[in-house]
Amino acid sequence: MSLKLYNTRTRQLEEFRPLREGRVDIYVCGLTPSAEAHIGHARSFLFFDVLRRYLRHLGFDARYVQNVTDIDDRSIARARETGEDWYDIVSGYYASFKESMRRLDVEEPDVEPYATKFIVQIVEMIGELLEREIAYVSEDGVYYDVSKFSRYGALAHRKIDELEAGARIEVDEHKDDPLDFALWKFAKPGEPSWESPWGAGRPGWHIECSAMTRTVIGPDTFDMHGGGADLVFPHHENEIAQSEPLMPHPPMANFWVHGGVLLSDGKKMSKSLGNFEPLSELLDRHDPQAVRLLFLQTGYRKVMSMSEESLDAAAVSLERLKAAWRKLHPHSSAGALKRSVLLEQIEAALNNDMNTAGALAELHRFAANVDAIPEDSRSDAFREFSYALEMLGMPPRSSWLEVPKVELAADFLERLQRELSGEISFNGASPHDAIERIIAERNLARMQKDWSRSDRLRDALARCGVTLKDGKDGTTWTVDA
RNA sequence: GGCGACGUAGCCAAGUGGUAAGGCAGAGCUCUGCAAAAGCUCGAUUCCCCAGUUCGAAUCUGGGCGUCGCCUCCA
């Protein structure tokens, strides 16, 4: 039993085998920080985070490279509009993205190459393409000549004439063919630029990834290249077109792995449509672990839509896992990980093209049966459950031990006092003490079977947003959301 | 217009030839003075529609209908 992954290159589910024993090199196209990151980006990087964690679990030494395209037309245009420095814009958005990734427990890439740090290698690569006459210098830049690469369109499973029939390709007088794309764009006055043999300018989109994979990972075929499904064409197709003619032994990457896009109101979330809320703000409103859980529930390749309701449902679902973990927690003790059906079933699910929804189902099945676990195997169960959660990127936190509480409103005491109309006074007491005081009074009333007083006290608290729960170990309270 | 994906209970979603995982919501029960919380139990004779292949199909084939993506910057 081993990992099978869908390979966009061959359009098939294939058994994953690393090119070098025990080692996996993954390159994932990162962000172009010309706008605020959104939850669709999070879905993609969350998936690759789980893939990476799983590869490591399988015993591979996984090296994860995720680039930053820190130069592009949009950020330059934005700088012109706002008067800001273009790089301040880029680094601002990127910092915000990184912070969101941290909150989502997405692990840091092992290598994080910035496009602007690889200008030398980019220029060198363009030079090689020109030498081989696969590229040409035009009036406003250097272009890639698509007609020179016979496999062009292979990744996207598209033929050149089909692409040309597309109604939305703009004719550009600087290109020989509408499908040709820019490798280097000559700078207009005021635009950021770097020197090159053909004139000062900046790299086109696509070329940075070709240059960086070649430099950072190596000139030969590497194991996996990933990104969102919307990158298949033209971005990844163009990367292949740039890289493979210069390689002695193509293909550029063995596996091409693409994650499905996220829909918002039935339309793909995208920078140009602006149909999204910044990721950082969404994470203020929703538990990042619940966000991860929600994405784990859906196959990574499926087009998926998301709603506030689904996010809330995921939070409740996460609570179940937390509760199971909490029950096991007192039985923790150091020791080796002992495998049982839980891990076996999770592996079986993940081996099937990273079926995280199936893996999650196993976690829930386990959680539902936690009470039945015999005392002497609880420590093992605890370690295995924790390990599985961690493997999916949902590391148990110390906060899981606490029942969730929300802050009391600022005027809580005043409202409470009013609700009780002087029945009990607690001048100077903290809100917490006041609640405890009422609970004590109520329990006294309950002992005396004074139900009307008991209920009156409970209702007063309820109107102030505090719910009481009578457990067998006494009364606890929670603050309503 | 071309290429592709998807359509499973109220909602989200797994399952890719052997008789429908899981989550949310809902219902019932237990517990409780009553609640809340918690625990237990239950849910599609059926997988968009229509034909076909097969002993057997949600799963394969053909045809419809619908939704979405890509063909343009995008994870």
Q: Which residue is nearest to nucleotide B73 (CA to C1')?
A: A272
Three-state helix/strand/coil letters over A106-138: CCCCCECCEHHHHHHHHHHHHHHHHHCCCEEEC
Which nucleotide across the nucleic acid strands is nearest to A356, CA versus C1'?
B14
Express each pLDDT in A41-90 by its tens digit: 999 999 999 999 999 999 999 999 999 999 999 999 999 999 999 999 99
Domains and CATH numbers, chain A: 4-135+148-156+203-268 (3.40.50.620), 299-401 (1.20.120.640), 412-479 (no CATH)
pLDDT value at residue A170? 59
d(CA A50, CA A358): 14
* Predicted ipTM > 0.90: yes
Q: What angle do CA A170, A178, A140 make, to 5 degrees?
A: 90
pLDDT band at A171, cuts 50/70/90?
low
Calculate mean pLDDT across residues A258-272.
88
Express each pLDDT in A384-429 by its tens digit: 999 999 999 999 998 888 755 556 777 888 888 888 887 887 777 7
Interatomic distance A236 CA / B70 C1' (Å): 13
Mean pLDDT lowest for which of A134-138, A175-179, A272-276? A272-276
Tokens of A122: 């980019």
Interatomic distance A358 CA / B15 C1' (Å): 9
Interatomic distance A323 CA / B37 C1' (Å): 13
Interatomic distance A7 CA / B15 C1' (Å): 21
| Average pLDDT for chain A | 91
Nucleotides of B under 7 A from a protein CB: 1-6, 11-15, 21-25, 32-41, 67-75
- List, in order, residues 6 or more apart from A443 with CB less than 8 Å away: A475
pLDDT band at A294, cuts 50/70/90?
very high
- Which sign does the torsion angle of CA A218, A220, A226, A228 carry? positive
